[in-house]
Every structure is written in C-alpha cells, then in structure tokens.
Amino acid sequence: MDYVTMGRSGLKVSRACLGTVNFGTAWGLGVGESEARPIIDAFLDTGHNVIDTAANYADGQAEEIVGRAVRGRRDSVVIATKAFMPQGPGPNDRGLSRVHLTRALEASLRRLGTDYIDLYQCHMWDADTPIEETMATLDGFVRSGKVRYLGCSNFTAGQIVEAQWAAEHCGGTPFISLQPQYSLLARDIEAEILPVCARHGLGTLVWGPLGGGVLAGRYRRDAAPEPGTRMGRLLASGRPAAREWAAGQLTERNFGIAEEVTKIAAELGTTPAAVALAWVRGRPHVTTVIVGPRTMEQYEQNLAGLHLTLPGELVARLDEVSGPVPAAVTGHTARR
C-alpha cells in the first residue's frame, strides 16, 4: 500500500480516501448501513486507512455508520470529519464559532463512538466569526487530545492564508489539509489554491473526482438524468445548493470532456471512471482522492482507477480538452 504524509505533518494516509456522503438514508439519497458496511470493510481490509465524513451527512447517520464499522480497529483508521453546517434551528447551531464548534465536536465524538478525531475540518468559511476565534477554539481541541490534526474544506486561497496566519498569531495549531473539489470538470483550484496549499503546508483530500458521475459516463447530453441516479436525486431534492451543483455538472462543455474520457477508456480497455480517477490521482499536489461509492461495483471500479497510470500522451489529451475555467462556471465551492 502506498502511504504519503498529509501536508506538513507526520500523518500517513493512503492515496485513496473513502467518502461517506452516500451513507445513510435521512436525505433520501444514500444507502443504508447494510449496503455501506461491506464497502467500508473492503476498503480497510485492503490497507486503505482514511475515511472522510461530516456532522451533517445524512443528518449524522454517516458518522454513526462509520463509528460502528471501525470498532475493533479504531487506531488503524484515520477518521476525518467536518463541522459548520446547521445542527439545529438556533442561531448558534451552525458556523465556526466557539460555541457551535464545541457542541459539534462533542456530538461527532458521540456518533463516531470514539474519544478522538484524527482530522477535524472546517466544512466552509464562516464570514460571521473572526478566524482568530475559530483557530483558537480548534487549537484547544488539539491540546485537549480530542483532535489530532486540523483541516479545512472549500476555502479560497486567501482564506487559507488568513487561517494559517491566525493560527501562528495566536500560537496555535495550523491546518494541514484542504478538501477541495477537483476533477477534469473543475480545475480552477490549479491557479491559486493548490500553490497556496503547497506554500503553507496543506495536503489535499480532493472530492468530486468523477463530477457527480458525469465523467463515469452515467449521463447523456440528450436525456434528463434518471430519477434513481445521483444527479436525478440531487435535482429533485429540496436542497438548493445540491440542485445548483448538479445543474452545473450537466453542461455542454462537461459532456464534451466526458466523451473524450470515454474514448480514452475504450482505447485502454478500462472504464471511464478509472480514467477520470487516474488523471486526478496523478496531478501535482494531490495527496489523497476521495471516492464516494454507493455500491460494491462502484467501489471496485473506483479503486481500479486509483491503481491505473495513464500514458503521457493521454494525459495531454485530457489536459487539452479540460482546460481550466473560472470558478463561477465550475462551482468549486459547492458544498457537500
């Protein structure tokens, strides 16, 4: 198994990370524990060690499923979870304030059935809370032993710099990771965000490598997504951010990129998903790639892609067809 260190730290992680956004049925989009558990077991049994979840995934069900799955081998698993999203109706039930982060951490520890979290991440930037308050609070979690390392998700380059400065200014613990969207459909982080991560000691756990399934060939430009597919469910959901993100993936540009991925897959005798994942894994500054399968078949296809090395000429073809476009088009800050 290939392990690398996460950012400027000694934390060793596998090049594949298991994402759990599809685990739990509370949102009507995911799978139950009986379907999720075999995927978690297979992932860990092959030596991969990073599982990413969040307090809000399926209203906490994803954390509960992960917690039960890792009992008996907790110390060999790197659990990454995230906080920010609403956990109740009150004004202090969301965000990165001291009061909400403290409550959110304790709730995540209970759901995960553990007394520590390996990588605790800010799910998104909080414009209403001074970053100094956030970083000081997170440092307190590290000093208490309840958190080992800190990270962020969906931050801009400027926000990363502010957070690292605040951690240094208050003598606290800096971030060692960023969780950004990155795929052949969404390459805007290459311009500023990835260089800032390299400069400030952040590794990356990249999400959305298949563009919601577009790069896996699951959708066609001339047909609406089937109701049972991920895009079909997101477009029909009551979550505006989810609908917006899904619509942003189903564009003429993206279908053109997906068609080139399909051609290359045919040339190699593999799947489009494998080609898309191999491209992401081979990019500079990518530490680990988050895969979020709903079925064992999807899991096996995803892992195959993370062991595939693309020839240079095929990488060049993919680079050309998927040239970076502005964040406003790709929507890299869409929240998961």
How much is the pLDDT for 317? 97
Report the share of the chain in percent with pLDDT over 70. Answer: 96
Q: Which of 7, 4, 2, 32 has the alpha carbon at shortest distance from 20?
A: 32
pLDDT score, position 151: 98
Q: What is the pLDDT of residues 292-302, one digit of tens each?
A: 999 999 999 89
**Pairing verdict, β 175-179 and 78-83:** unpaired
Q: Domains for the chain: give ranges and CATH numbers.
A: 3-214+276-309 (3.20.20.100)
The average pLDDT across 162-176 equals 95
Residue for token digits 């800096």? 174
Residue 175 in this model has a pLDDT that exceeds 70? yes
User: Which two three-digit tokens encode residue 336?
Assistant: 């998961």
252 alpha carbon, distance to own chain's centre: 25
Q: To which H or E segment does residue 147 belong?
A: strand 147-153
Q: Are 210 and 277 in contact (CB under 8 A)?
A: yes
What percentage of the chain reaches a pLDDT higher than 90? 79
pLDDT higher than 80, residue 328: no
- Give the mean pLDDT of 244-273: 92
| Residues 251-262: tens digit of each pLDDT | 899 999 999 999
Instruction: Please state the rounded mean pLDDT for residues 131-154.
Output: 98
For residue 190, which amino acid is it? Answer: E
Cα–Cα distance between 288 and 300 in angstroms, integer? Answer: 17
Gap between the Cα atoms of 37 and 23, Å rounded: 9
| pLDDT band, residue 325 (cuts 50/70/90) | low
More confident residue, 44 or 235: 44
Measured in degrees and rounded to the nearest 5, phi and psi for residue 168 equal -65, -40
Residues classed as catalytic: 57
b/e map of 150-170 (b: 16 or more CB within 10 Å)? bbbbbbbbebbebbbebbeee
